[in-house]
């Protein structure tokens, strides 16, 4: 299944946020979205996931979702969004309930996704007993349980420390590279971290400052499993991206500060 | 061997002093025993005041007399009669007022249509002393059980509404968005995310509402009741039987402690995840 | 003009200063009319007492106010609560207030229209019915007990409903939420006249009954006996005026009002119906005048009977000694005193 952004534009009241964004994500593809703070990345992701209606253009899907998909477009949240009163297992189970699945199927799925995210030993733990990294693993396990076609990730690692981030990044790489078929997982990955973008993405959309427009689409070739974070080539690409964004980011930063001063 | 102290503090050893402690965070600890001892001390002081004649028997009976009155009421079965009559009213009134309050509070918390009129009405009606409405309740519900249950239901309804919608408002909206994003039905979101998320607030609302219910027992049993702890207290007041009056007050207070204990136990069970 | 006012004021201040100040707790009831007359006619002043009336809404707080020393005297009806409090030794009853007496105004028993239609037409049919009273241990409660005893049924067979206040009793009988009430005549008569309830009997047909009394604290009697004596003397004169104006009977047994009865009633009305027009209020006073002994003598035997009955019902503590509540030394010749 493909997810298509078709000339999406959006504004909050008088404030234009997104302007004419178009791109496509297919199975096995990772599109990273980078851009200065406040340029509309999160808004774009919400529009793609159907949580918000764009003012112009549309988010479209094409082709069949994977067999037995419960939720073709599935989010992984920056703040994890776990139910504190449910165990790890219960949080995963939440998205399997109400679909008329057999108990055995539910149990198998839970066991499978927990195994894939290294959480088997923590099945009975409550979120507050887990570290940040572990919690985001639960978020990912829950997303996987819904058998999505495309994962929509909004800065999924930004709340975590650098080491944890590194470990989870390896896992994400494995996740999106698993199968090469039409059922393979696609991903839209919003991040501030350019190293993450070059590590994971096939294409990187660089947005301008608000209203967000696609300034450039950077392609990173090669099997992401072979990439290493200290690869000089990747470091250079990240550097290039930063040069693209820097002026905008500084400008956006000043704008935000002004806005706050005025509002305050 | 290297001198360890020297190793740790290589310079300016002459002027060593500890940093000032600045960690006092106003976190009082609870000591059950100390609380209990304070209560016992108060009772002993009161008993002494009566026994040594510092306090006239006209002013207040001694704790011993109160306990004796309590014992006599318990033995004669009078206490059981009063208590069961009150418990039935309390349970009935709280069940009605609490359930309706939670339902209405949920509606205010979830629906824009209900919210503005509902919240305004509640804010307007909550402060009305329910005793002031007693004559109306008698007109509407008579002087039988229904007006007594209605008084308690009415009195517990409003705090439950306010606690519930406050609790619903406090449920993390990012969890609701998560539920939506996984395609959960509205019913599933309400029952699996909002209701459990609001449960701590609802339970603490229940603590307050149940205390209010006990306070209202007296008002509810003012009219036409011969049985009930509230009726007992009123009659003892009318008869100037201060030992029985205070015995009734002790029963009310124990009732309050018991209800609070039950709710505490339920909290412990349901909110183990905290 | 201004000088005249100043002189007048100074004069009254002077005479007040010479007088001893005492306060009396009382309800705005016609049955306390003797007290009001003693104030209005200056009998207390003549004794050198400057009496201040403190009006209460309920009988109980008056007794408590006398115990606590907030007022020196109190005049109200007797209740079980009063006897319990007095039984602790702090209060003494020294003179009478009203009495329930055959042939005079007194409390009436009303049936709701619905109950009346179903056959509740006389006192002997009250068994098994619900009866509204103000409070447990009130005069109404006791009177219901006397009615039950006189008609040969157990009080337990009557469902007594404490309704806390007179307005609640009126509302409940109107709406038929209780089958019957016992209530004072000034409230009963309008209900019967307007057809909102039916009269089925008088308490005085069943029993004569010492309704209430004048009481003071034990401390007053020991420490200021002279003051109490003065007070009682003036109080007795008021009672005599009350009896002369409202209770005199002609040969055929009807009340025979004296020429100055209306003027006397108007003096009482000033305190009972302070906000009402005087002629109308005076008529109401005459229509609600309970029997009061002309010398304010107590029916001692009846009080002993009352206390015994209330003890038997568990409403008065067994430890209360009725005789010790009374101090009969201020008035000679109390009734049934042996
Ligand atoms: N619900 C909303 N109502 C009004 N304005 C909003 C709303 N959500 C976002 N905005 C505004 O829209 C702009 C884009 O917000 P968005 O969160 O999409 O930016 P972002 O690129 O994700 O920023 P960041 O990198 O800081 O996460 C911001 O100026 C923000 O203040
Ligand atoms: Mg964002």
Any contact of A with C, at least 3 CB pairs below 8 A? no
- The answer to whether the Cβ–Cβ distance between C90 and B231 falls below 8 Å is no
Average pLDDT over residues C121-127: 95
Contact partners, residue A22, CB within 8 Å, separation at least 6: A4, A5, A6, A7, A8, A57, A214
Residue B217 domain flag: yes
- The answer to whether the Cβ–Cβ distance between B193 and A83 falls below 8 Å is yes
Residue B101 domain flag: yes
Ligand nearest to the CA of A193: 1
pLDDT mean across residues, chain C: 90
Residue C330 near residue C321, CB atoms below 8 Å: no
Inform me whether the pLDDT recorded for C2 exceeds 60.
no
pLDDT in tens, B212-259: 999 998 888 988 888 999 999 999 988 888 899 999 999 999 999 999
Give the per-residue pLDDT at A136: 94
Residue B227 domain flag: yes
Residue B256 domain flag: yes
Q: Pocket residues for ligand 1 (CB within 6 Å)?
A: A 12, 17, 37-43, 210
Dihedral over Cα of C239, C240, C245, C246: its sign = positive
Ligand nearest to the CA of A41: 1
pLDDT in tens, B169-201: 999 999 999 999 999 999 999 999 999 999 999
Nearest ligand 1 atom, CA A190: 22
Pocket test for ligand 1, best of A12, A18, A32, A210 (most atoms within 8 A of CB): A12
* Rounded distance from Cα A38 to ligand 2 centre (Å): 7
SS (H, E, C) B181-207: HCCCCHHHHHHHHHHHHHHHHHHHHHH
In this prediction the pTM is 0.80
A94 chain-B contacts, CB cut-off 8 A: 179, 182, 184, 192
B228 chain-C contacts, CB cut-off 8 A: none
Neighbours of chain C (3+ CB pairs under 8 A): B
User: A260: pLDDT confidence band, cut at 50, 70 and 90?
Assistant: low
Cβ-Cβ contacts under 8 Å between B and C: the total is 78
pLDDT in tens, A145-156: 999 999 999 999
Write the residue in A51, A97, A142 that is nearest to B177 by C-beta. A51
Which residue's CA lies nearest to atom 8 of ligand 1? A43
Give the per-residue pLDDT at B59: 75
Give the per-residue pLDDT at A149: 93
Inform me whether the pLDDT recorded for C7 exceeds 50.
no
**A176 vs C203, which has greater pLDDT?**
C203
Pocket test for ligand 1, best of A16, A43, A214 (most atoms within 8 A of CB): A43
Average pLDDT over residues C220-225: 95
Average pLDDT over residues C176-196: 92
Give the per-residue pLDDT at B144: 85
Ligand nearest to the CA of A17: 1
Average pLDDT over residues C28-55: 94
Nearest Cα residue in chain B from A76: B178
Inform me whether the pLDDT recorded for A169 exceeds 50.
yes
Inform me whether the pLDDT recorded for B2 exceeds 60.
no
A228 CB neighbour count, 10 Å cutoff: 9
pLDDT in tens, A17-54: 999 999 999 999 999 999 988 899 999 999 999 999 99
pLDDT in tens, B26-61: 888 878 888 889 989 998 998 998 888 887 777 788
C172 chain-B contacts, CB cut-off 8 A: 138, 143, 224
pLDDT in tens, A185-204: 999 999 999 999 999 999 99
pLDDT mean across residues, chain B: 89
pLDDT in tens, A125-137: 999 999 998 999 9
User: C6: pLDDT confidence band, cut at 50, 70 and 90?
Assistant: very low
Residue B16 domain flag: no
Which of B129-138, B170-179, C295-304 is predicted with the least confidence, judged by mean pLDDT? B129-138
Residue B198 domain flag: yes
Residue B83 domain flag: yes
B227 CB neighbour count, 10 Å cutoff: 17
Inform me whether the pLDDT recorded for C13 exceeds 50.
no
Give the per-residue pLDDT at C299: 95
Give the per-residue pLDDT at B57: 74
B196: left (phi over 0), alpha (psi -120 to 50) or beta: alpha
Range of the domain at B109: 64-69+79-270
Which residue's CA lies nearest to atom 2 of ligand 1? A12
Q: How far is it, in rounded angstroms, from Cα C263 to Cα C246?
A: 11
Give the per-residue pLDDT at B191: 95
Kindly report the nearest CA distance between residue B39 and chain A, in angstroms: 37
**Residue of C263, C338, C252 whose CA lies nearest to C300:** C338
Give the per-residue pLDDT at A181: 66
- Its ipTM equals 0.89
Kindly report the nearest CA distance between residue B248 and chain C, in angstroms: 16
A99 chain-B contacts, CB cut-off 8 A: none
Give the per-residue pLDDT at A198: 94
Residue B265 domain flag: yes
Q: Into how many domains does chain B fold?
A: 1
Kindly report the nearest CA distance between residue B172 and chain A, in angstroms: 9
Q: What is the CATH number of the domain that holds B141?
A: 1.10.3720.10
**Residue of A18, A37, A24, A46 whose CA lies nearest to A217:** A24
pLDDT in tens, C42-93: 999 999 999 999 999 888 889 999 999 999 999 999 999 999 999 988 899 9
Give the per-residue pLDDT at C17: 52
Inform me whether the pLDDT recorded for A7 exceeds 60.
yes
């Amino acid at each position: 299944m493909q997810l298509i952004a078709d000339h999406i534009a959006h504004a909050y009241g008088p404030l234009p946020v997104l302007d004419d964004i178009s791109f496509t994500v297919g199975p096995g593809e990772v599109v990273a979205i980078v851009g200065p703070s406040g340029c509309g990345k999160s808004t774009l992701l919400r529009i793609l996931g159907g949580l918000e209606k764009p003012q112009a253009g549309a988010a479209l899907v094409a082709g069949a979702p994977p067999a037995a998909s419960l939720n073709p477009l599935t989010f992984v949240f920056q703040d994890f969004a776990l139910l504190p009163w449910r165990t790890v297992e219960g949080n995963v189970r939440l998205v399997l309930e109400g679909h008329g699945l057999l108990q055995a199927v539910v149990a198998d799925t839970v066991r499978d996704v927990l195994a894939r995210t290294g959480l088997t030993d923590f099945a009975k733990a409550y979120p507050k007993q887990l570290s940040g990294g572990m919690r985001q693993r639960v978020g990912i396990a829950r997303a996987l349980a819904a058998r999505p076609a495309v994962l929509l990730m909004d800065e999924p690692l930004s709340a975590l420390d650098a080491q944890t981030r590194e470990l989870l990044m390896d896992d994400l790489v494995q996740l999106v590279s698993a199968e090469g078929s039409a059922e393979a997982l696609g991903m839209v990955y919003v991040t501030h971290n350019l190293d993450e973008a070059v590590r994971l993405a096939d294409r990187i959309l660089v947005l301008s400052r608000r209203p967000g427009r696609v300034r450039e689409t950077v392609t990173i070739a090669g099997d992401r499993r072979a990439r290493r974070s200290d690869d000089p080539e990747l470091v250079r690409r990240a550097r290039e991206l930063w040069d693209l964004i820097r002026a905008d980011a500084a400008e956006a930063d000043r704008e935000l500060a002004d806005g706050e001063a005025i509002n305050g | 061997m290297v001198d360890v102290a020297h190793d740790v503090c290589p310079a300016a050893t002459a002027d060593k002093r500890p940093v000032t402690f600045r960690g006092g965070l106003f976190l009082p600890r609870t000591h059950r025993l100390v609380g209990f001892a304070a209560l016992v001390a108060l009772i002993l002081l009161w008993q002494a005041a009566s026994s040594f004649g510092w306090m006239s028997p006209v002013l207040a009976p001694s704790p011993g007399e109160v306990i004796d009155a309590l014992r006599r009421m318990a033995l004669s079965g009078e206490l059981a009669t009063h208590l069961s009559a009150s418990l039935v009213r309390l349970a009935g009134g709280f069940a009605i007022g609490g359930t309706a309050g939670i339902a209405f509070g949920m509606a205010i918390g979830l629906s824009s249509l209900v919210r503005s009129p509902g919240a305004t009405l509640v804010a307007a009606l909550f402060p009305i002393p329910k005793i002031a409405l007693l004559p109306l309740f008698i007109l509407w519900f008579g002087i039988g059980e229904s007006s007594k249950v209605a008084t308690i239901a009415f009195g517990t309804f409003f705090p439950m509404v306010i606690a519930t919608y406050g609790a619903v408002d406090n449920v993390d909206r990012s969890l609701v968005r998560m539920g939506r994003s996984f395609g959960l039905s509205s019913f599933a979101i309400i029952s699996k995310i909002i209701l459990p998320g609001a449960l701590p607030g609802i339970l603490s609302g229940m603590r307050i509402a149940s205390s209010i219910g006990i306070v209202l027992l007296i008002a509810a049993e003012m009219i036409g009741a011969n049985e009930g702890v509230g009726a007992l207290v009123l009659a003892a007041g009318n008869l100037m039987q201060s030992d029985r009056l205070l015995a009734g007050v002790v029963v009310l207070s124990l009732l309050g402690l018991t209800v609070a204990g039950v709710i505490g136990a339920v909290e412990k069970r349901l909110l183990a995840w905290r | 003009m201004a000088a005249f006012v100043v002189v007048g004021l100074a004069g009254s201040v002077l005479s007040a200063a010479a007088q001893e100040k005492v306060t009396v707790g009382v309800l705005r009831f016609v049955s306390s009319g003797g007290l009001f007359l003693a104030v209005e006619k200056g009998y207390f002043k003549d004794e050198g007492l400057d009496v201040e009336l403190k009006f209460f809404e309920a009988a109980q707080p008056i007794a408590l106010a006398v115990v606590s020393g907030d007022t020196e005297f109190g005049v109200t009806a007797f209740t079980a609560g009063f006897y319990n409090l007095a039984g602790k030794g702090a209060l003494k009853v020294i003179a009478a207030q009203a009495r329930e007496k055959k042939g005079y105004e007194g409390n009436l028993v009303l049936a709701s229209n619905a109950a009346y239609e179903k056959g509740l037409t006389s006192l002997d049919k009250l068994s098994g019915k619900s009866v509204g009273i103000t409070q447990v241990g009130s005069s109404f409660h006791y009177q219901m007990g006397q009615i039950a005893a006189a008609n040969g049924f157990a009080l337990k067979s009557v469902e007594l409903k404490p309704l806390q206040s007179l307005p609640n009793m009126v509302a409940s009988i109107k709406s038929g939420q209780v089958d019957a009430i016992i209530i004072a005549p000034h409230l009963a008569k309008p209900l019967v006249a307007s057809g909102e309830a039916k009269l089925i009997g008088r308490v005085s047909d069943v029993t004569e009954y010492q309704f209430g009394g004048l009481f003071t604290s034990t401390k007053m009697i020991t420490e200021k006996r002279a003051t109490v004596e003065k007070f009682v003397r003036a109080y007795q004169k008021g009672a005599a005026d009350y009896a002369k104006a409202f209770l005199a009977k002609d040969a055929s047994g009807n009340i025979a009002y004296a020429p100055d009865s209306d003027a006397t009633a108007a003096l009482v009305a000033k305190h009972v119906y302070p906000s009402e027009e005087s002629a109308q209020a005076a008529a109401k006073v005459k229509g609600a005048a309970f029997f009061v002994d002309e010398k304010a003598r107590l029916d001692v035997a009846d009080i002993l009977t009352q206390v015994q009955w209330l003890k038997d019902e568990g409403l008065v503590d067994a430890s209360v000694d009725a005789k010790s509540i009374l101090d009969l030394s201020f008035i000679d010749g109390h009734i049934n005193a042996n």
